[in-house]
Chain A
Amino acid sequence: MNLLIGLAMGLNLLALGTNRLPSLIRVMSLQGVVLGVMPLLMEHDTLNWRVEAVALATIVGKGLVIPGLLRRAMRAANIDREIEPFIGFVPSLLLGAGGTIAAVALARALPLLPEHAGTLLVPGAIASILTGFILLIGRVKAISQVCGYLILENGIYLFGLLLIHSTPLLVESGILLDVTVGVFVIGIIVDRIQRAFDSLDTRKLTTLRE
């Protein structure tokens, strides 16, 4: 369990360090699969169909559908495979590593129920959220920003696992809906930005400013 969360945290750093879009998408989809497996391991003694459904939907959604859509958008728009950073790779890696340490420290301050005490869920979640923010802010291309947003969502999903036992599926299904629809809509927009600007460079989106 903690091994998987550790793996997801490692993938965060990989996502920050990579300089090619396809590998960023691959890292993201791998993280999605890792997250999808997690509820199965967490609840292996009291496995019910709801948990299985969440796991399956996560693996298919985060691991296959969304990366597929992003790849298609990338091909369709004929985007350059390089990632252009606002915040360089080394600084963002350092930020990410610092963020991970801060996440572990921060998680200490929050009290946990005895059954969650030993897990890395909370630090893992905070670290992923921070990574997501760094990617959102620090990358130029629309697709890498979408990846950042998805990693942010992954962090929130990790946190949601704390509640998978007690709250109705509602909240969980909310996330998946959000992710798929969000990317779907973002995908359309990306397509339009492409047509309107002939690039996916969000730096060019600067007409509207004070």
Chain B
Amino acid sequence: MNPLLLIIVPLLGAALAALWPSNRTRPWLLPVVGLAHAAMTLWFFINPPVVAPGDWLGFDPLARAVLPAVSLLFLVCAAYGVPYLRIRSERPNRVFVAVLLAVLGLLSAGHQARHLGVLWITTEAVTLAAVPLIHFNSTPRAFEATWKYLLIGGTGIALSLLGSFCLGYASLHGGGVGDLTFTALTAQGTGLSSPWVKTAWVLLLVGYGTKMGLAPMHTWKPDAYGEAPGIIGAILAGGVTTVAFTAILRVRAVIGAAGEGPIADRTLLVIGLFSMLVAALFLLGTRDFKRMLAYSSVEHMGILSIGASLGGAGVAAALFHVWSNGLTKGALFLSAGNMRRAAGSASMDNARGMSVLTPRSAAIFIAGMFAVTACPPFGPFFSELQVVRAAVASGHGFATAMFLGCLLLAFFGLTRVAFGIADGRPRLAAKTNAKRCAETIGVIAPPLVLLGLSLWLGLRTPAMLREAWAAAVTQLFPNP
């Protein structure tokens, strides 16, 4: 089997969805394609294909370490998508389904991109493809969020293109022949022109960091996650940001080979800590539980960035965190979507007593909230513990203290909002509304499954996954 199928099948699915006549049966394409994609990913995960060094796209160890998480998350979200789109049957879903499937294909391409240009094109395409998903609700607020997302995301993507050019010029200046695959760039190593490499690193970090949602380029995130449907929030937070993160990891490997690794690590550490701090402070202030999830996502992107700055052990921990954070966030976004529908508002001021209105979703939300704030025995606890361990081992005492302090602040912020909406007496208007949004098995099972996966990752991380993360680290740091 060719790994390109991971890209082609979802794109064909998207084309089929665009042509599918019935609004009622079209959503079923989501789980069908999702299942096919997940099965193929599993197959490639167990039998990793050989990747030639010059390939532009390939299921290499890094893709193997991350893409299955995205595929799994997409599958569960796709299963949620069917009942969700039935509830929202008043809106045409042709664009929604087609674009969502296209996003899956582009995400697979982005994770497998081994060429600077291909990586950029796929990231750009994902950014643009997500636009109709964010304004699915078509409210003025959704348009405002989309506009900000486009403007900030577009600028970020433009800067990452500029960074790619700078890296290309660094290679050219060092006597390269214009081969922009990561393998060739890494092989050129210290031959790359140093001033250009540094310029490229800054621009690529800002560019892909915008996509990832690192502070201070995170400002699109609360708006987009707050206004997009929960299912889209889950895929943006667990899938799209991951592409940007793997992009940063791949670029970081080139910078490391060029001998500028320490500078790259320092910037990653600082921007990661800053993201955590900003997110923690905003978490203490926000009153909207979907925006709260966005700030929590900013915080976790900070954790990933810190992990990436700590060498091999840190990167392995960060890859673990990609899995645990993506799956747990998925559970939170999906259950938050259920509560948002029942309450008719995402603000703490209007959404109250959710433990009475939507008891199951509220329970999942609270459990997920504890999971994401790193309470054992969920996955995030263990991945964050590994990050802390890597930080202590490499002698970053102050950074570790700040990391833990930010986690504590974020915990206060998250519990404040989560219990604020779960407790109290529900509003009268919300009561009648909630009756229409019954908690069927279709909308409860997916977040529950994701929560279960997070628990499973924490309790017994499969040896195969650990091996996959270690292989990805070896790919990124060939000579530690």
Chain A contacts to B: CB under 8 angstroms: 109-113, 129, 136, 142, 145, 149, 152-153, 155-156, 159-160, 162-163, 165-168, 170-171, 174-175, 177-178, 181-182, 185-186, 189, 192-193, 196-197, 202, 205, 207-208, 210
Contacts and interface: CB of A to CB of B under 8 A. Distances in A.
B158 A207 contact: no
A192 B124 contact: no
30 contacts: A111-B193, A111-B195, A112-B173, A149-B151, A156-B158, A156-B165, A159-B165, A162-B165, A163-B165, A163-B172, A166-B177, A167-B117, A170-B117, A171-B117, A171-B120, A171-B180, A174-B117, A174-B120, A174-B161, A182-B154, A189-B135, A189-B143, A189-B146, A196-B143, A197-B140, A207-B140, A208-B222, A208-B226, A210-B222, A210-B286
Nearest to A205: B144
Interface of B: 117-118, 120-121, 124, 128, 131, 135, 140-141, 143-148, 150-151, 154-155, 157-158, 161-162, 164-166, 168-169, 172-173, 176-178, 180, 193, 195-196, 199, 222-223, 226-227, 282, 285-286, 291
B168 A167 contact: yes
A165 B177 CA distance: 10
Contact of A192 (B120, B143, B154): B143
Contacts of A182: 128, 150, 154
B128 A142 contact: no
Contacts of B286: 210
Contacts of B157: 178
Contacts of B144: 193, 205, 207-208
> Which of B141, B150, B161 has the most chain A CB atoms closer than 10 A to its own CB?
B161
A167 B177 CA distance: 8
B145 A142 contact: no
A186 B341 CA distance: 29
B451 to A, nearest CB: 28
Nearest to B151: A145
Contacts of B173: 111-113
Nearest to A170: B117
A167 B147 contact: no
Nearest to A204: B144
B258 to A, nearest CB: 14
A190 B309 CA distance: 40
A168 B178 contact: yes
B61 to A, nearest CB: 25
A163 B121 CA distance: 17
Contacts of B172: 113, 162-163, 166
Those 7 A-B pairs whose CB atoms lie nearest each other, nearest first: A166-B178, A196-B140, A205-B144, A208-B223, A170-B117, A167-B178, A171-B117
A181 to B, nearest CB: 6
Contacts of A205: 144, 147-148
Contacts of A192: 135, 143
Contacts of B143: 189, 192-193, 196
Contacts of A186: 150, 154
Contacts of B147: 142, 189, 193, 202, 205
Q: Which of B121, B128, B151, B193 has the most CB of A within 10 A?
A: B151
A149 B155 contact: yes
- Which of B117, B120, B199 has the most chain A CB atoms inside 10 A of its CB? B117
Given A136-B151, A156-B165, A170 B146 contact: no
Contact of B195 (A110, A153, A166): A110
A156 B161 contact: yes
A38 B185 CA distance: 28
Contacts of B118: 170
B290 to A, nearest CB: 11
Contact of A174 (B124, B169, B282): B124
B415 to A, nearest CB: 19
A138 to B, nearest CB: 14
Nearest to B199: A110
Contacts of A174: 117, 120-121, 124, 161
Given A162-B169, A167-B180, A174-B124, A149 B282 contact: no
Contacts of A162: 165, 169, 172
Contacts of B180: 167, 171
Contacts of B223: 208
Nearest to B172: A166
Contacts of A166: 168, 172, 176-178
B22 to A, nearest CB: 26
Contacts of B166: 159
B161 A178 contact: yes
Highest count of chain B CB atoms <10 Å: which of A113, A145, A171, A186: A171
Looking at A110, A113, A202, which has the most chain B CB atoms within 10 Å of its CB? A110
B158 A152 contact: yes
Given A142-B147, A168-B178, A208 B141 contact: yes
B285 A210 contact: yes
